[in-house]
Structure 1
Amino acid sequence: MKYKKISFKELVLMNVSALYGIRWIAKSTSDSFGLGLGAIPMWVIFMLIFFIPQALMCAELASAYPTDGGLNDWVKIAFGTKYGFLVSWMHWTALIFWYASFLTFLAINVSYMIGRPELADNKTFVLIMSLVVIWGLSFVSMRGMKLGKYFTSVGAFGSVIPTIFLIGMAILAIVVLKVAPSASEYTVATMTPKMNMNSLVAISGITFAYTGAEFTANFVSDMKNPQKDYPRAIMIAAGLICVLYVVGAVCMTMLLPTSEIFAYTGTLDALTKASELLGVPEILVQILALGIALSVLGALVLYIVQPVKMLFGYSEPGIFSEKFMKKNQYDVPEKAILFQAVLITVLLAGVNLFSAVETIYNVLVTMTALTSLFPYVLLFAAYIKIKREKEDKPELYQMTRNKKWGCFLGYSELVICGVAIVCSALPVMGTTSENIIYEIELIGGALFVVLSGLWLWKRSGLKNKKVGT
């Protein structure tokens, strides 16, 4: 059977589906942990200076070294098995924070879905529901998680379609029908990011929102004309994603002032406001909340097992005990799944010390951004090393054939990533006691992730081995 090549259109849609997330609009435009109106130009700037170069670098690596392991294998090729394991470890631990933030977001959307938005501010409701979902999914996943295929089609409904509704309803109510004046004024002054702690922390969120290009980069070798079509596909996908973020941010801030936008409920609050202005029944917001909730649940279902299997099921022998890595009859390392659920429970209980659900959600998203950016430090360092040392092959895709220019872009991405990591750890809580808890959990958690990975490798007694290029 002849293998079907990935089309230009398919690659564009895959990138949009994989990389766009509606929750980042409210997160970026909120005055709390956000940039306010300053988010609008920042989405454009970081698309140009971070996302596009990152995507093209990943495509170059994928073209030279096509592999299902992605950035883990590229780091192994550059620096050896020790750092390949460290990337896998950091990726999995970052997912612990991601799970926690997504579970919180899911509980909040469910409160709107059932017509009880006041429950979104109830810490007990959010915590209990989050724990019920993660433990339920964990036990189900031990029997072989095949539910994911039933959720893949709702991803677009949960992100892109609510965004289209938000944009369409806002323009209709504020611009066309002029039912109400815009809640914000758009000038150079108002859209210039304020250089305060909240704005600097928000930069890490926007940087993180633009990561993930490595997941679709491996398809570069499956295109008919990758040297020409892949850069075009990335440019168009980046443009579409950027338009969704920018126009979505403008429309959300037309409906609500940035002081009234909250990262955890902003999207649904804006949709509720638009529905009120247009006289649309509340059931529309409940349906859209259901769609977002299903897409979040689908993401959790799809990702709850695979990262665990990749880390604990296929790590170098000797890092984890055989009993811990042992798979059941469904090919799932169930002890590792239980360990993951325990860690998520501890994390959710820890952040529940903060006073409000909004703070809890913002902290979890920031912790996710901080830990998720660590593997990209090694990715960009690997690109620089490989770009400098490997022999050019004209038949393979390359971002640029000029080694010095390629290395310069690699260093630029490395600096942006490093600045985002530092910014994410800045103190932004309202009280000294909350700042102490915040810094302990954020910086302490980040150090624990890196140091524990290095300790596990050292304890195993394994030697760092170079992987053949």
Structure 2
Amino acid sequence: MIEEEKKSDAKKMLWPTLAMMAFSTVWGFGNVVNGYVYFDGTKVVFSWVLMFLLYFVPYALMVGELGATFKNANGGVSSWVNATMGAKWAYYAGWTYWACHVVYISSKGTGGLRAMAWGIFGNTKWYDGLPTAWTQLATLVVFLFFCWVTSKGIPVLKSLATIAGSSMFIMSILFIIMMFAAPAINPHAGYYSINFNWKSLMPTFNLKYLTSLSILVFAVGGCEKISPYVNKVKDPSKNFPKAMMALAIMVMISAILGTFAMALMFDPKVVNNNLNEYISNGAYMAFQRLGEYYHVGGLFMYIYSWCNVIGQFSTLVISIDAPLRMLLGSKEAKNFIPKKLLKVNKHGAYINGIWMVVILSGGLIAAQALLPDAQAVMAQLVKLNSTTMPMRYLWVFAAYIALRKQQIKFDTSYQMTKNQGLAYTAGIWCFIVTAACCIFGIYSPDPFTLFLNIITPIILIALGLILPAIKKREDGSNPLID
């Protein structure tokens, strides 16, 4: 028996391996750029540190406890909610996870075309100069094509997503290293100086600050994806917290060093005066400038662009397919979702579910044709994503609070803390922070953006409530009462 346990332990991963897996899943260079752009340059550093210490660390440790408790659950957050709160709430959790991806799907098509413009032309002057109706029509065509790809069950782009994700992760780390090395290699390139005084690092707490916090929550969210690996680590109760602390430190170092690397390149005043341009193109401009410092022209920018093209389009397919399968393939689906939406074609794809994605995401793409230009579309999608995507994290914290209320019912190999008061405080705190950031993030000085930020969640929530009512009429029973 002891020999078998030793063999089993030998097969388990070390905590640094899990930390690296989590880091590549959670973090990306786009988060550094968005933080720098939205929070006035180096003033984002203070906010990053606060976000990591007061939000990200407890969030990651709660995910670890949920993953360790429900180690055999395959449905992720929906399974946790089902076990702790019941099938009705599990359906709503699954719906929220899927609904958040409606906006995300719209942004992948836009992001992919922008990356392609950089990869072909080396800039987006031609692309950004087109009428918005043309760029949105092109985005719609791309979106419909990949919906068709998803319906045919073509797996090749899903494999490419792993390669693209890894390469983008490597490029993000290389950017920071190479940018700090650049002044030694090319000292006369004309860098901006960084002031490490209190004024340069302390943010201005105003309406813009509060309404942008959702950008940071969106950036650090998503670590629930690594929950299946909690029990694959040696001695999880001891080593999982180590992995999560290492993850938090790596993300914090990457965010802070990445911010200072950006500060050597871009003047925050110039960024603030051209906000949409830097939101849309900041990452490409950074790699373009890095190439100039190393006398290789646009080489780094072209590599980054084509990695991003593959990443955006492969993620588009995964984002159409995976959340749909999680929603419609769950046990709760049969009780809460009309039968027509559960229809599967000969390729194993939820064909009517894909049509629902076509209508909702396609409608959002079409609506954005009213915006003034392609840069405004990209900026609007970044903001809309930051207010809708974090809504799915609310279910993680709700499930955690429910778990601690019923902890006597469940066995676990790892707990964030044995103190019930501290556990409740952490769960409630993270829930409130997430909800507040989502609500504040809705505000925009642009009336049309504000309208979309309000109407999109309302439509998605209403549809999630309507489907069980349709199901009730379909079979004459009310699953919400059962």
Please give the alpha-carbon distance, in whole angstroms, between the structure 1 residues aligned to 2:481 and 2:24. Answer: 36
Matched, 1:452 2:459: no
**2:201 match: secondary structure:** coil
* Structure 2 runs not aligned, ≥5 long: 272-277, 473-477
State the Cα distance separating 1:399 from its structure 2 match: 0.2
Kindly provide the CA deviation profile for residues 419-463 of structure 1, in whole angstroms up to 9, marking residues without a partner as x.
21122012233xxxxx2x222211121122223212322443333
Q: In the superposition, relative to structure 1, how do residues 257 and 82 fare at CA in structure 2: closer, same or farther (>3 Å)?
A: same
State the Cα distance separating 1:44 from its structure 2 match: 2.1
Kindly provide the CA deviation profile for residues 60-98 of structure 1, in whole angstroms up to 9, marking residues without a partner as x.
112112211111122222322221111111111110111
**Alignment-derived partner of residue 353 in structure 2:** 336
**Alignment-derived partner of residue 328 in structure 2:** 312
Matched, 1:161 2:170: yes
Please give the alpha-carbon distance, in whole angstroms, between the structure 1 residues aligned to 2:22 and 2:449. Answer: 33
Out of 127, 132, 136, the residue aligned to residue 127 of structure 1 is 136
Out of 168, 193, 209, the residue aligned to residue 219 of structure 2 is 209
| Residues 422-441 of structure 1: pairs in structure 2 closer than 5 A | 422-429=439-446, 435=447, 437-441=448-452
Please give the alpha-carbon distance, in whole angstroms, between the structure 2 residues aligned to 1:103 and 1:186. Answer: 39
Please give the alpha-carbon distance, in whole angstroms, between the structure 2 residues aligned to 1:34 and 1:115. Answer: 30
Instruction: Tell me the number of residue pairs that the alignment of Structure 1 and Structure 2 aligns.
Output: 457
- Which stretch has the larger CA shift, 263-272 or 101-110? 101-110
Amino acid at match of 1:214: E
**Alignment-derived partner of residue 276 in structure 1:** 292
Please give the alpha-carbon distance, in whole angstroms, between the structure 1 residues aligned to 2:39 and 2:106. Answer: 20
Amino acid at match of 1:427: S
**2:103 match: secondary structure:** helix
Amino acid at match of 1:139: W
Contact 2:55 2:430 in 1 (8 A): yes
Higher helix share: 2
Contact 2:39 2:203 in 1 (8 A): no
Q: In the superposition, relative to structure 1, how do residues 428 and 250 fare at CA in structure 2: closer, same or farther (>3 Å)?
A: farther
Matched, 1:253 2:263: yes
TM-score of the pair, normalised by structure 1: 0.90
**Alignment-derived partner of residue 475 in structure 2:** none
Amino acid at match of 2:259: A
Please give the alpha-carbon distance, in whole angstroms, between the structure 1 residues aligned to 2:369 and 2:183. Answer: 38
| Residues 12-411 of structure 1: pairs in structure 2 closer than 5 A | 12-30=19-37, 33-66=38-71, 67-117=73-123, 118-122=125-129, 123=132, 126-147=135-156, 148-158=158-168, 160-174=169-183, 177-179=186-188, 180-182=190-192, 184-261=194-271, 262-314=278-330, 315-391=332-408, 396-411=413-428
Please give the alpha-carbon distance, in whole angstroms, between the structure 1 residues aligned to 2:247 and 2:422. Answer: 24
**1:166 match: secondary structure:** helix
Contact 2:100 2:392 in 1 (8 A): no
Please give the alpha-carbon distance, in whole angstroms, between the structure 1 residues aligned to 2:149 and 2:106. Answer: 18
- Which stretch has the larger CA shift, 5-14 or 119-128? 119-128
Q: In the superposition, relative to structure 1, how do residues 154 and 107 fare at CA in structure 2: closer, same or farther (>3 Å)?
A: same
Amino acid at match of 1:253: A
State the Cα distance separating 1:215 from its structure 2 match: 0.9
Please give the alpha-carbon distance, in whole angstroms, between the structure 2 residues aligned to 1:119 and 1:260. Answer: 22
Contact 2:45 2:201 in 1 (8 A): yes
Amino acid at match of 2:395: L
Amino acid at match of 1:81: A
Q: In the superposition, relative to structure 1, how do residues 129 and 21 fare at CA in structure 2: closer, same or farther (>3 Å)?
A: farther
Amino acid at match of 2:101: L
Q: In the superposition, relative to structure 1, how do residues 198 and 176 fare at CA in structure 2: closer, same or farther (>3 Å)?
A: farther
* Structure 1 runs not aligned, ≥5 long: 430-434
Q: In the superposition, relative to structure 1, how do residues 36 and 392 fare at CA in structure 2: closer, same or farther (>3 Å)?
A: farther
Please give the alpha-carbon distance, in whole angstroms, between the structure 2 residues aligned to 1:294 and 1:426. Answer: 33
